[in-house]
Structure 1
Amino acid sequence: MIKINLFYYLIGIVLVIVGSITLVDKKNSKRFTSGIFWLLYGLLFLVGDLIPSYVVGIAVLIMGLLAGFGKVIGVKHREFSYNDRLVRAKQIGAKLFIPALTIPVFVIIGTLVFKNLSIDGKQLIDPKGLTIICVALGCVLATIFACIITREKPQQSMHEMRRLIDTLGWAIVLPQMLAMLGIIFSACGVDKALAHVINDYFNMNWQILAIGLYIFGMAIFTIIMGNAFVAFPIMMGAVGIPSLILHFGFNPALIAAIGMLSGYCGTLMTPMAANFNIIPAALLELKDRNLVIKVQTPSAIMILCANFLFLVIMSYIK
């Protein structure tokens, strides 16, 4: 059976290679600390499930300190000129889109075909991670197609991987770290503590106030933690369930949907959501790394206000 761990090992190998190359790259003024950062990250993918949890925690803390003190940097890689890239793009033409489209197409087909595919009565792919495994297989297939179309050697994919990692920097680690933070918050009972504070300082019998705390609280917690899925159980446990659903009788599906939409508004306004706001700015080589956030913020605020007004209106017709 193909399990998601197989692809974690593949990612780990790639990161260890990148870290090893960085360690010996004399062009990088902080090659030792940068190399250690990527080696630690790669080792967590390779042996994270085999080592004690406190060792993983220590490794994460070391990575955080290295990134926090600016010890993780990339180098400027040699790139083709704009004219050279334009000529190359014209030569390849629309075939450039084949690798990019391979991933979503394979995911759609794979989830339908592999769902019930078995050999000798055994499931070929672990159904628990079917979608993610299909994404990983699609990425491998897309890499093969890219090499065939561009007529480049497979080694070039490693060079491009390192260039992208150097461009994105430590921010590439944020999504994982924030997801882990959400688990820690839930385990520590942050939602119950927040509910206690809210009930002590706010009159939760006032429906409009409860709606406002839920809507804008979802956005604020997402801004802080960078992930709406992390903020959702906290605000749902603190305000959504006890106040809006149980006390005021709102439809749970409505509260959940509007809450997540409000959280996504917070995602649009925070650098903590690195995969949405910082990484695109780095890939597009924007001079202002916060430009994406600045452009998105007005829309996010308007949607938040619309969510608030919508729930207020629904409170009178529910």
Structure 2
Amino acid sequence: MLSIEHFYIVLALFLFFAGGSNLREGRYAHAAFWSMLGVLFATGKLVLTASKAGNPLPSQLAGAAVIVLALLATRMRREHIAEAPEDQRRASALRLGHRLFVPALLIPAITVLIVLFGKYIVIFGTPLFGEGSITLIGLALACVLAALAAVVVTRERPIRAASEGRRLLDTMGWAALLPLVLATLGGVFAASGVGDAVASIVSAVIPADSRVACVLAYGLGMVVFTMIMGNAFAAFPVMTAGIGLPLLIQQHGAEPAILGALGMLTGYCGTLMTPMAANFNLVPAALLELDDPNAVIRVQIATAVPLLAVNLLLMYWLAFK
């Protein structure tokens, strides 16, 4: 039975490989960062089990490790890591042609198939996919299979996949963790009652009986919170609990599905305009070695602002019966 924990172990092994590679090259902060992160992924289930059993020490140690990661991140510097010469890469691309796209296309294809049909796959009376999000398990399995497919297509040694993955990871640096951290932050905000606080502030500031004011507060709030947290998924529970549910849905009768879909899309306008969305905005600039780290954001603002205006109009027009 496959569970997400199996893929966490695979990820931990990859992080240990990245840590060992950096250690051999004398990049000690990088080595410590990836190795400690690998330990966290490898021991996550043990920490959770101990916490449920009433033993807080493993959780406290994990929290201390996160603080150490933050300190190590300040010592990490983006450096060029050698790769194959350009003429060699061009020759390889011409030789492989469109087959190069096969591994990348396998990821969404396999993920969708597992989401749709994974629950029906049973081996000797046992479901193949165990507890946890079937989407996340499917995505993890798809990535592993895509890596194997890349090895077959390129006829490279399997260690090359790990080496290139490690090169990409070190190019991104600590920013590779930002989506995970920011999504977690959204859950923390929602659990700590930030949504209720937002609802109180908004009700005191705007006329709650005005549908237009509530739509603007919800839409612009999604944008602002997304820009702060870098992730619309992190902003969504906070703004929906604070404005969307009590004011727009319960008070003004908005359709939840339409409001939620347009609310998320509105939040993505904030994603286009913030460096906190590192995986979308900072990582491409780093990979392309642009002189201006905010170059991607500057280009995207021209799309984000008109899209925001259209989303607000659609929300007001479509979400209410």
Inter-CA distance 312–139: structure 2 relative to 1 (3 Å threshold)? closer
1:188-267 matches, cutoff 5 A: 188-267=192-271
Aligned residues: CA RMSD: 2.0
Which residue of the partner structure matches residue 45 of structure 1?
41
Whole-angstrom CA distance in 2 between matches of 1:310 and 1:91:
48
**Which of 108, 129, 145 in structure 1 is aligned with 2:112?**
108
Which sits farther off after the overlay, 221-230 or 150-159? 150-159
Whole-angstrom CA distance in 2 between matches of 1:110 and 1:314:
33
2:152 aligned with 1:117: no
TM-score scaled by structure 1? Answer: 0.90
Whole-angstrom CA distance in 1 between matches of 2:306 and 2:66:
37
Contact in 2 for aligned 1:73/1:166 (Cα 8 Å): no
Which residue of the partner structure matches residue 55 of structure 1?
61
Q: SS in structure 2 opposite 1:246? A: helix
The Cα of 1:262 is off from its aligned counterpart by 0.8
Inter-CA distance 131–312: structure 2 relative to 1 (3 Å threshold)? closer
The Cα of 1:140 is off from its aligned counterpart by 2.1
Which residue of the partner structure matches residue 165 of structure 2?
161
Contact in 1 for aligned 2:266/2:312 (Cα 8 Å): no
The Cα of 1:313 is off from its aligned counterpart by 4.3
1:45-84 matches, cutoff 5 A: 45-51=41-47, 52-67=58-73, 69=74, 71-84=75-88
Q: Tell me the percent identity.
A: 42
Structure 2: unaligned runs, 5 residues or longer: 48-57
Which sits farther off after the overlay, 289-298 or 223-232? 289-298
Inter-CA distance 235–21: structure 2 relative to 1 (3 Å threshold)? same
Inter-CA distance 307–135: structure 2 relative to 1 (3 Å threshold)? closer
Contact in 2 for aligned 1:182/1:230 (Cα 8 Å): yes
Whole-angstrom CA distance in 2 between matches of 1:205 and 1:299:
32
Which residue of the partner structure matches residue 8 of structure 1?
8
2:94 aligned with 1:98: no
Contact in 2 for aligned 1:270/1:293 (Cα 8 Å): yes
The Cα of 1:142 is off from its aligned counterpart by 2.1
Inter-CA distance 309–223: structure 2 relative to 1 (3 Å threshold)? same
Whole-angstrom CA distance in 2 between matches of 1:234 and 1:112:
30
The Cα of 1:176 is off from its aligned counterpart by 1.0
Contact in 1 for aligned 2:273/2:297 (Cα 8 Å): yes
Inter-CA distance 307–96: structure 2 relative to 1 (3 Å threshold)? closer
Contact in 1 for aligned 2:4/2:132 (Cα 8 Å): no
Structure 1: unaligned runs, 5 residues or longer: none
Contact in 2 for aligned 1:115/1:127 (Cα 8 Å): no
2:45 aligned with 1:36: no
Which sits farther off after the overlay, 88-97 or 110-119? 110-119
The Cα of 1:178 is off from its aligned counterpart by 0.8
1:129-208 matches, cutoff 5 A: 129-208=133-212
Whole-angstrom CA distance in 2 between matches of 1:246 and 1:135:
36
Provide, for residues 37-72 of structure 1, a one-character-per-residue CA deviation record: whole Å limited to 9, x for no partner. Answer: 1111111110022132222222112212322x3x11
The Cα of 1:24 is off from its aligned counterpart by 3.0
Q: SS in structure 2 opposite 1:236? A: helix
Q: Which amino acid aligns with 2:59?
A: S
Q: Which amino acid aligns with 2:66?
A: V
Q: SS in structure 1 opposite 2:185? A: helix
Inter-CA distance 188–285: structure 2 relative to 1 (3 Å threshold)? same
Contact in 2 for aligned 1:258/1:307 (Cα 8 Å): yes
Whole-angstrom CA distance in 1 between matches of 2:41 and 2:76:
19
The Cα of 1:294 is off from its aligned counterpart by 1.4
How many residues were matched structurally? 311
